[in-house]
Amino acid sequence: QKEVEQDPGPLSVPEGAIVSLNCTYSNSAFQYFMWYRQYSRKGPELLMYTYSSGNKEDGRFTAQVDKSSKYISLFIRDSQPSDSATYLCAMIGTNTGFQKLVFGTGTRLLVSP
């Protein structure tokens, strides 16, 4: 079993839809959680960085962490064609002294005009 599970998609939605992207993890040592966006032929770009359980909002993006369920989500409101990319969750924790970022496999999102 992988440490971090993420549905690879693709997830296709129409412009303006609310998108929900999710990851589950197995190791309770993970403490910090991140979401990255990766466009084709580009490096991952940090979108959200959270620590505690609960919600964190930044513009159209909301990151949600539920440590008790070992489940994290990224919501995108009013999705745009420019949001079409691969979204990677990543996490880091005490098991590696906060040295090693572990990624999900990424979910490919397609937003059609």
Residues of this chain that interact with another protein (CB under 8 A) are 31-32, 34, 36, 38, 41-46, 49, 86, 88, 92, 96-101, 103, 105-106
DSSP string, the chain: --SEEE----EEEETT--EEEEEEE--TTEEEEEEEEE-TTS--EEEEEE-SSEEEEETTEEEEEETTTTEEEEEESS--GGG-EEEEEEEEEGGGTT---EE---EEEEEE-
Residue 83 or residue 104: which is nearer to another protein going by CB?
104
Least distance (Å) from another protein to the CB of residue 43? Answer: 4
Residue 19 or residue 92: which is nearer to another protein going by CB?
92
